[in-house]
């Protein structure tokens, strides 16, 4: 069994043991199909699914009927965008349809939009963000057209930790009769997400980012002011209000519900604890290695679960062999570097020729004080062995 120090929670969180316990009976005892409503096993499964739906809805202050279960954020993002655009096109086939999004969206938003553009269904503008990853309302207003019907914007950025001012953007979108979809994968269960206070049309998230199982997620679809209608994702038996046919994954749905229930009770304390630990980690690293650069907003104005650090003059092939005990993710702005080029770093102003590695350190509920101390020690040891403090701050640009 691996004893690595885990700091890659933005990729996936460990399964909470309480979630695992809640899921167990639905593998070997309550194994019925919720679509089988003529016997006890089916009733048990159906009841479990609907209870989980209520728990998910409660976490984001939504109605249970506004929650549809999916395989995760990628599916939810695809369905939200394709389903809405197909629905709008069915109503007005000849009306031009313009979409606004940012240039730092996840691939599961960007790729479906590019696919629909290639099909001639939509026109898109990928709008620039500032050096901290924020998309301003002024930029949205400047690029809005009479044909703009949909905005898709990530709420909390998975790489650079930016928390968009979605409440202000949602209010403006509603005033202008524009549908707003958000990829809330790093928001739900970590910050306050309230559909009563934010007129968001569609919201996507995954279970495995909030200590639930992999392969399960949800799509929130607003039912009033306005009511959102999506073209079905899957046709067949009519499950999930005929939107996503197929036998429901009951154990994982139960797990997602339990994860949401726990998050509702504990996410504020999780945030406070992690905020202090992550701030201390950043302050200690910056104190020992002043040339380290923080990507995204400054500490205190970003998600507390994420630090994205650029190490000037250090390439991935240099440092990764020294961090074998530390689970982090990384990349560089330059596609010719040793790790895959990162378009998000380019979007916030990094030099496209810079091969310096950037490390994403993402913590979570299970990350301990000892883990933070070990992570600092591992990074410090690695940088000292590479004589990082002796390198010029203005490093070689290829």
> What tokens appear for 105 in the block?
């969206």
State phi, psi for 306 to the nearest 5 degrees: -145, 135
Q: Which is catalytic among the residues 30, 260, 327, 334?
A: 334
Instruction: Establish whether 334 is a catalytic residue.
Output: yes
Question: Rounded CA gap, 352 and 337, in Å?
Answer: 10
Question: Rounded CA gap, 300 and 284, in Å?
Answer: 15
Please tell me the total number of residues recorded for the chain in this structure.
Answer: 398
Question: Rounded CA gap, 339 and 356, in Å?
Answer: 10
Three state DSSP letters for the chain? CCCCEECECCCCCCCCHHHHHHHCHHHHCCCCCCCCCCCHHHHHHHHHHHHHHHHHHHHCCCCHHHEEEECCHHHHHHHHHHHHHHHHHHHCCCCCCEEEEECCCCHHHHHHHHHHHHCCCCEEEEECCCCCCCCCHHHHHHHCCCCEEEEECCCECCCCCCECCHHHHHHHHHHCCCEEEEECCCCECCECCCCCCCCCCEEEEEHHHCCCCCCCEEEEECCCCCCCCCCCCECCCCCCCCCECCCCCHHHHHHHHHHHHHHHHHHHHHHHHHHHHHHHHHHHHHHHCCCCEECCCCCCCCCCCEEEEECCCCCHHHHHHHHCCEECEEEECCCCCCCCECHHHHHCCCCCCCCCCEEEEECCCCCCHHHHHHHHHHHHHHHHHCCHHHCCCCCCCC
Count CB-CB contacts under 10 A for residue 29.
10
Q: 43, 398 in Cβ contact below 8 A?
A: no
Residue 269 C-alpha from the chain's centroid: 20
Tell me the catalytic residues: 334
């Amino acid at each position: 069994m691996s004893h690595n120090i885990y700091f890659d929670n933005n990729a996936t969180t460990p399964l909470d043991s309480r979630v695992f316990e809640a899921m167990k009976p639905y593998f070997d005892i309550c194994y019925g199909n919720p679509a089988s409503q003529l016997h006890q096993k089916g009733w048990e499964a159906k009841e479990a699914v609907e209870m989980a739906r209520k728990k998910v809805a409660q976490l984001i202050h939504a109605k249970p009927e506004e929650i549809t279960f999916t395989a995760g954020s990628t599916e939810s993002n695809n369905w939200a965008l394709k389903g809405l655009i197909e629905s709008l096109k069915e109503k007005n086939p000849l009306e031009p349809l313009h979409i606004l999004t940012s240039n730092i969206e996840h691939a599961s938003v960007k790729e479906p939009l590019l696919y629909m553009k290639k099909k001639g269904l939509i026109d898109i503008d990928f709008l620039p963000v500032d050096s901290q990853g924020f998309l301003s309302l002024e930029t949205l207003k400047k690029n809005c057209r009479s044909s703009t019907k949909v905005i898709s914007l990530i709420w909390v950025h998975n790489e650079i930790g930016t928390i968009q001012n979605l409440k202000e953007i949602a209010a403006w979108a509603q005033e202008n009769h524009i549908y707003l979809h958000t990829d809330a994968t790093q928001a739900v269960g970590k910050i306050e997400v309230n559909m009563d206070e934010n007129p968001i049309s569609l919201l996507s998230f995954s279970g495995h980012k909030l200590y639930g199982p992999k392969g399960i997620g949800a799509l929130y679809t607003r039912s009033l002011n306005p009511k959102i209608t999506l073209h079905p994702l899957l046709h067949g038996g009519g499950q999930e209000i005929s939107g996503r046919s197929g036998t429901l994954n009951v154990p994982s749905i139960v797990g997602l519900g339990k994860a949401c229930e726990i998050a509702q009770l504990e996410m504020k304390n999780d945030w406070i604890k992690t905020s202090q630990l992550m701030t201390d980690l950043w302050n200690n690293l910056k104190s020992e290695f002043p040339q380290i650069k923080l990507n995204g907003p400054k500490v205190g104005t970003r998600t507390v679960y994420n630090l994205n650090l650029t190490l000037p003059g250090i390439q991935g092939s240099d440092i990764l062999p020294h961090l074998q005990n530390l689970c982090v993710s990384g990349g560089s702005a330059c596609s010719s570097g040793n790790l895959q080029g990162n378009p998000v770093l380019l979007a916030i102003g990094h030099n496209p020729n810079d091969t310096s590695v950037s490390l994403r350190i993402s913590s979570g509920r299970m990350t301990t004080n000892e883990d933070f101390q070990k992570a600092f020690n591992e990074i410090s040891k690695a940088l000292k062995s590479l004589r990082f403090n002796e390198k010029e701050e203005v490093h070689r640009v290829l």
